[in-house]
């Protein structure tokens, strides 16, 4: 009779991510947590990083991932995180957020600075630190969770729009700079994604946050984006998904959204 544990190990070895280590930042909620779950299901050894260690611990217990505290805005935290890693094949730069929806004329420069620290400088900081490991893996993946806000401008909340434009440019630039290295550079740019915290953090009002999605039939959820991330990362390594824009069917463009009722 076959050993069940042996059969399980054999099945795991057949999964697309088997033998590869994937780091997911901002993994304590939303797209990051959904991505960690999906990549673990695909056989990746997942390392999750975020500031809220209690949530990370619960996610690690659920998925078998390894949880490490990480604040991408803190160089010492990034150094400690990187030092704790033995190898990295995949980096999913997901940590980010929007913190206001103000027009430029009413810009809160503190909010702008916070937005850039998390979305841009934090992303650059961790990317720079882990890039040698991605190259050394011989088949590295550097994935950025961008936004359609980084592809087209619109009024209100320019701090986030500008930051995501920077992330888009960062991905494009790295693809040019790494053209002769064994590292793919992928950007996933979601449109409307209904997650628990993102919009509330941006508008600071629960009623206004709920109004953003009111009447929208089936907005995207975090698992939809995680599905796109997993698909891009599990293509044969000679296939590079430069940019994947994903919106709910109800959102034809940034400002053209069908709302029922």
Q: Please, are residues 155 and 256 in contact by the beta-carbon 8 Å criterion?
A: no
Those residues whose C-beta lies under 8 Å from the C-beta of residue 194, and which sit 6 or more positions away, are 213, 219, 220, 221
Selecting among 116, 154, 160, 213, the annotated active-site residue is: 160
Q: Yes or no: say if 59 and 119 are a contact pair by the CB < 8 Å rule.
A: no
**160 belongs to the catalytic site:** yes
Question: In this structure, are residues 39 and 59 in contact, taking their beta carbons and an 8 Å threshold?
Answer: no
CA neighbor of 80 nearest in space, from 28, 146, 119, 129: 129
Q: How many alpha carbons fall within 13 Å on the CB side of residue 56?
A: 19
Provide the phi-psi class of 44: left if phi over 0, else alpha when psi is between -120 and 50, else beta.
beta
Q: What is the set of active-site residues? A: 160
């Amino acid at each position: 009779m076959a050993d069940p544990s042996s059969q399980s190990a054999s099945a795991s070895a057949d999964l697309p991510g088997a033998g590869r280590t994937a780091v997911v930042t901002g993994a304590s909620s939303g797209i990051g947590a959904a991505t960690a779950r999906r990549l673990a299901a695909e056989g990746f050894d997942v390392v999750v990083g975020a500031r809220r260690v209690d949530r990370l611990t619960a996610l690690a217990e659920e998925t078998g991932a390894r949880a490490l505290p990480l604040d991408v805005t803190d160089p010492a935290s990034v150094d400690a995180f990187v030092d704790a890693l033995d190898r990295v094949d995949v980096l999913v730069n997901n940590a980010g957020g929007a913190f206001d929806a103000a027009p430029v004329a009413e810009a809160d420069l503190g909010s702008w600075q916070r937005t850039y620290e998390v979305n841009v400088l934090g992303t650059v900081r961790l990317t720079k630190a882990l890039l040698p490991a991605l190259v050394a893996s011989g088949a590295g993946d550097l994935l950025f969770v961008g936004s359609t806000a980084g592809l087209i401008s619109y009024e209100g909340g320019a701090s986030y729009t500008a930051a995501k434009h920077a992330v888009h440019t960062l991905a494009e630039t790295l693809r040019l700079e790494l053209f002769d290295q064994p590292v793919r550079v992928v950007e996933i740019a979601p449109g409307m994604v209904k997650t628990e915290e993102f919009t509330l953090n941006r508008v600071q009002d629960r009623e206004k946050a709920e109004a953003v999605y009111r009447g929208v039939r089936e907005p995207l959820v975090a698992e939809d984006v995680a599905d796109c991330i997993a698909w891009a990362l599990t293509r044969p390594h000679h296939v590079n998904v430069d940019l994947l824009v994903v919106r709910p069917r109800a959102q034809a463009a940034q400002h053209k959204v069908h709302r029922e009722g």
